[in-house]
Amino acid sequence: MKIGVIADDFTGASDIALTLAEGGMRTMQFVGVPDADVADVDAGVVSLKSRTIAVGDAIAQSLAACEWLLSQGASQIIFKVCSTFDSTAKGNIGQVAEALAKRLGETHVVTCPAFPENGRSVYQGHLFVNDGLLNECGMQDHPLTPMTDADLRRVLALQTSWDVTHVPMKVVGQGADAIEGAIAVLPASMVIVDAIADDDLRSIGAAVKDRKMLTGGSGIAIGLPANFGLTAKAVPWDGVTGPGVVLSGSCSRATRGQVESFTKTNPAKELSAADVMDRAGKVDDIVDWVLAQDMPPLVYTSADPDVVRAAQETYGTDVIAGAIESMFADLAAALADAGINRMVVAGGETSGAAVSGLNAQNLRVGPRLAAGVPVLAVDVRPLAVALKSGNFGGPNFFAEALTLMERPS
């Protein structure tokens, strides 16, 4: 293994796994920390569900993943976070990055969540989503990690005892040597690095070839395979046919638009907060309804921010979030047992719940369904899944993904 990735959620793990695979690396995604060695893998991506858990637990899980990746030969560790830097003032991006850096002996933690292909860019230390600031793109309404500040330096400074420094675009534009030189003269710190285009990320990749760890979105991996003499290649896929379903628990603007588009042509069942909390017999009823449809249906809890807030006030934020995840975990398993073999899942927490319910351990990375979203083959079942971050994909992503799953590459 050359590169080891610790991802703080499942959609982010598949996102960066696709980037590394398309860069020519033999890539495998793991569900949690494996308990055995692996062979013939250039990049290993350990999927955790640590984004919103307590800081101490997130650190412990991340360090355990780090130890396993190092035992497999990884020479560079990436702490993969969301391209919208999802976190709160309590953490845990800064704290986990600090703990990993201490373990690895790294003094400068290059940090860049830019993903230009999906509209994420970092300029003057601020994170933009398309042409607007992070805190104006809808992420300010996220039910678990509301992002109300676009200045990554301020966000990160609340989460770490380290200094937070910055390499601006005027340096990045001069190329890898300039970036490397700028980092070298900084004090030990978390280093926010600007990037507005893929070429910037390739320059950053070349500049950090000797760094022991990085923190960022999947874009930070664009330039890394070249450091090992690898080049881009097509990712093989045999295609999967059979019954399909879409499960969505994301409340992002993009996903709500995808739900609206899909329901114009396909059957859909919305689960209210009351449905989720009073779930007796509901999973079996939903499975029966899914199997009775002539077209791949949608089961969703996605709702606008006001509806989400009302549910949180009624039941409690952690209670309703946990109940939704439990429902989707059980539903994913029951649907797979019933013969569904194409499954699109929207939302980071929902994806983590679904994969956990499937008891998957290894996910083979296939080709892209959309920017940042590959198709994944589950090891323990004849099942293909797509794990979609809330804001990824175009308006017709659900239908397009189900179709592309069937096509051999």
Distance in angstroms (rounded) separating the CA atoms of residues 57 and 36? 22
Residue 234 in any domain: the answer is: no
Quick one: 112 and 8 in the same domain? yes
Is the confidence at residue 6, as pLDDT, over 90?
Answer: yes
Distance in angstroms (rounded) separating the CA atoms of residues 159 and 141? 21
Residues spanned by the domain of 283: 244-404
Number of domains, the chain:
2
Q: Are 311 and 320 in contact (CB under 8 A)?
A: yes
Which of 228, 258, 277 is the C-terminal boundary of a domain? Answer: 228
Quick one: 383 and 351 in the same domain? yes
Distance in angstroms (rounded) separating the CA atoms of residues 339 and 341? 6
pTM here is: 0.88
Quick one: 203 and 312 in the same domain? no
Is the confidence at residue 298, as pLDDT, over 90?
Answer: yes
Residue 105 in any domain: the answer is: yes
% pLDDT > 90, the chain: 78
Residue 233 in any domain: the answer is: no
Position with higher pLDDT, 302 vs 94: 94
Give the contacts of 377 (CB within 8 A, at least 6 positions apart): 240, 363, 364, 366, 383, 384
pLDDT digits (tens, 9 = 90+) for 80-116: 999 999 998 889 999 999 999 999 999 999 999 999 9
pLDDT digits (tens, 9 = 90+) for 191-238: 999 999 999 999 999 999 999 999 999 999 999 999 999 999 889 899
Place of tokens 């309804």: 289
Residue 398 in any domain: the answer is: yes
Distance in angstroms (rounded) separating the CA atoms of residues 22 and 370? 13
Whole-number pLDDT of residue 321: 86
Quick one: 255 and 172 in the same domain? no
Which of 204, 228, 252 is the C-terminal boundary of a domain? Answer: 228
What's the CATH code of the domain at 248?
Answer: 3.40.980.20
Which letter, b or e, does each residue of 18-38 get, where b requires 16 or more Cβ atoms within 10 Å of its Cβ?
A: bbbbbbbbebbbbbbbbeeee
Quick one: 178 and 308 in the same domain? no
Distance in angstroms (rounded) separating the CA atoms of residues 404 and 196? 29
Quick one: 321 and 222 in the same domain? no
Mean residue pLDDT of the chain comes to: 94
Residue 239 in any domain: the answer is: no
Distance in angstroms (rounded) separating the CA atoms of residues 366 and 404? 11
Whole-number pLDDT of residue 289: 97
When pLDDT is averaged across residues 281-308 and rounded to a whole number, the result is 90
Whole-number pLDDT of residue 294: 95
Residue 255 in any domain: the answer is: yes
When pLDDT is averaged across residues 284-313 and rounded to a whole number, the result is 90
Is the confidence at residue 280, as pLDDT, over 70?
Answer: no
Is the confidence at residue 50, as pLDDT, over 90?
Answer: yes
Is the confidence at residue 267, as pLDDT, over 90?
Answer: yes
Q: Are 44 and 33 in contact (CB under 8 A)?
A: no
Quick one: 83 and 222 in the same domain? yes
Quick one: 199 and 312 in the same domain? no
Burial of 7 from C-beta contacts in 10 A (0-12 / 13-18 / 19+): buried
When pLDDT is averaged across residues 13-31 and rounded to a whole number, the result is 95
Token pair listed for 77 = 């560790």
pLDDT digits (tens, 9 = 90+) for 146-194: 888 999 999 999 999 999 999 999 999 999 999 999 999 999 999 999 9
Quick one: 204 and 304 in the same domain? no
Q: Are 92 and 50 in contact (CB under 8 A)?
A: yes
Residue 148 in any domain: the answer is: yes
Q: C-alpha angle 218/160/353, rounded to 5°?
A: 45
Which of 200, 228, 256 is the C-terminal boundary of a domain? Answer: 228
When pLDDT is averaged across residues 356-376 and rounded to a whole number, the result is 92
Quick one: 155 and 201 in the same domain? yes
Quick one: three-class SS letters along the chain?
Answer: CCEEEEECCHHHHHHHHHHHHHCCCCEEEEECCCCCCCCCCCEEEEECCCCCCCHHHHHHHHHHHHHHHHHCCCCEEEEECCCCCCCECCECHHHHHHHHHHHHCCCEEEEECCEHHHCEEEECCEEEECCEEHHHCCHHHCCCCCCCCCEHHHHHHCCCCCEEEEECHHHHCCCHHHHHHHHHCCCCEEEEECECCHHHHHHHHHHCCCCCEEEECHHHHCCCHHHHCCCCCCCCCCCCCCCEEEEECCCCHHHHHHHHHHCCCCCEEECCHHHHHCCCCHHHHHHHHHHCCCCCCEEECCCCHHHHHHHHHHHCHHHHHHHHHHHHHHHHHHHHHCCCCEEEEECHHHHHHHHHHHCCCEEEEEEEEECCEEEEEECCCCCEEEEECCCCCCCCHHHHHHHHCCCCC
Residue 58 in any domain: the answer is: yes
What's the CATH code of the domain at 29?
Answer: 3.40.50.10840
Is the confidence at residue 123, as pLDDT, over 90?
Answer: yes
Distance in angstroms (rounded) separating the CA atoms of residues 243 and 211? 45
When pLDDT is averaged across residues 245-255 and rounded to a whole number, the result is 91
Whole-number pLDDT of residue 201: 98
Distance in angstroms (rounded) separating the CA atoms of residues 87 and 9? 12
Which letter, b or e, does each residue of 271-297 get, where b requires 16 or more Cβ atoms within 10 Å of its Cβ?
A: bebebbeebeeebeebbeebeeeeebb
Quick one: 37 and 104 in the same domain? yes
Is the confidence at residue 63, as pLDDT, over 90?
Answer: yes
Whole-number pLDDT of residue 69: 98
Quick one: 190 and 275 in the same domain? no
Residue 273: pLDDT band (50, 70, 90) is: confident
When pLDDT is averaged across residues 338-360 and rounded to a whole number, the result is 92
Whole-number pLDDT of residue 102: 98
